[in-house]
Amino acid sequence: MNVPVASRLPGVGTTIFTVMSELARRHGAFNLSQGVPDFDPPAALVERVVHHVRGKANQYPPMAGVLRLREVIAVDLLRRYGRQASPADEITITVGGTEGLSAAILATVGPGDEVIVFDPAYDSYEPIVTLAGGVTLHVPLLRPDFAPDWDRVRSAFSERTRLVIVNTPHNPSGRCLTSRDLDTLAEILRPTRALVLSDEVYEHMVYDGLRHVSVAAHPELGQRSFVVSSFGKTLHVTGWKVGYCVAAPALTAELRKVHQFLTFTVASPLQEALADYLESERHAIDGLAAFYQARRDRLVTLLAGSRLHCLPVAATYFQLVDYSAIADEADLDFSRRLVQEHGVATIPMSPFSQRPVPGERLVRLCFAKEDSVLEAAARRLAAL
């Protein structure tokens, strides 16, 4: 019996990340598409998971998350950004960054509310807004450096604007918002009721001596924002799906109302293990920027002299490349052909935007890979 279902997301299909990873698997290609690191997590962290699985950490933890882990996060927020956050009232452990984003949107956006996003934008934002009954307004980032167009942001505001979603460091461009950017956003928001949702999952991967400027630390924005981060990116454990959201007490209370019915909580042994590891290795993440900068630089060097042009990348573990000297075909067609004919999987830029820039010929490469993979894939790309 076929019962018709009225789709809540009629315009949404399988994400481009899943599509390209499946093509890579099918064709035996080097997978530089999905943001999945090749590297094993720290051995000490894995040992602590085993310890807690064999112990008694196999039942429900607190809904907001294991308190020790929230306390570790609070210490790190103070050390890195000077933000004092209460583990009890301002930090919530979530099922990856995606659940943190979802809970924040569902907690604050209602039917008819407008949400501003910056294109190119991570593809989970708009579907969640749609599920909440909201309307997504897309403001393109300025080329060539993917800077916010604050005049267009001002113009996009209305009485219905409820939320502005920012992503810093930005996926896929690698651009970071500056202190001046945050001051400008605060000035725009000051006379409004709008809130901010800041996706900062790549906060520890910032290069060339730059420092990540967190919305959580901004004197105004920090009190009207949800800031989401993820252990999956920083500790090479994307499959664990453990993230967290930092927000002022009133916002956290609303987020937790949704969180408790969305997922309720996150796996106990993973939280306990992360708390153990980060308590004993408080500076373990400090070397991550140098670790990934070396891989970025290696990939750029390997592609030097090829017909692919590497754009400047200040953060994340993604490299944008311009292929216009090779082909004039659409990015999705080019990406598919790369997999099928040359054995390298990439991510096209156009799925990140509501209205792709005409004539833009960019694809994204993930350089969170072993040197042997980067070298082999780069040889194929350099031969194009």
DSSP secondary structure code for residue 357 in this structure: P
- The span from the CA of 69 to the CA of 62, in Å, is 11
Q: CATH 3.90.1150.10 occupies which residues in the chain?
A: 16-41+286-382
pLDDT in tens, 172-229: 999 999 999 999 999 999 999 999 999 999 999 999 999 999 999 999 999 999 999 9
User: In this structure, what token pair is assigned to residue 331?
Assistant: 């990015």
pLDDT of residue 108: 98
pLDDT of residue 288: 96
Regarding the domain with residue range 16-41+286-382, which homologous superfamily does it belong to in the CATH classification?
A: Aspartate Aminotransferase, domain 1 (3.90.1150.10)
Q: Which fold has domain 44-284?
A: Aspartate Aminotransferase; domain 2 (3.40.640)
- The span from the CA of 365 to the CA of 356, in Å, is 18
CA distances from 75 to 12, 98, 143, 186 (A): 40, 23, 37, 26
Question: Which segments in the chain show pLDDT lower than 50?
Answer: none
Write the CB contacts of 372 (distance below 8 Å, at least 6 apart in sequence).
none
CA distances from 212 to 180, 203, 208, 313, 340 (A): 13, 6, 11, 14, 38
Q: CATH 3.40.640.10 occupies which residues in the chain?
A: 44-284
pTM equals 0.96
Start-end of H helices in 35-168: 43-54, 67-81, 96-108, 125-131, 150-156
pLDDT of residue 11: 87
Start-end of H helices in 190-287: 231-234, 249-262, 268-280
pLDDT of residue 282: 79
pLDDT in tens, 303-325: 999 999 999 999 999 999 999 99
Given its phi and psi angles, is residue 197 left (phi above 0), alpha (psi -120 to 50 degrees) or beta? Answer: beta
pLDDT of residue 1: 63
User: In this structure, what token pair is assigned to residue 204?
Assistant: 């520890």
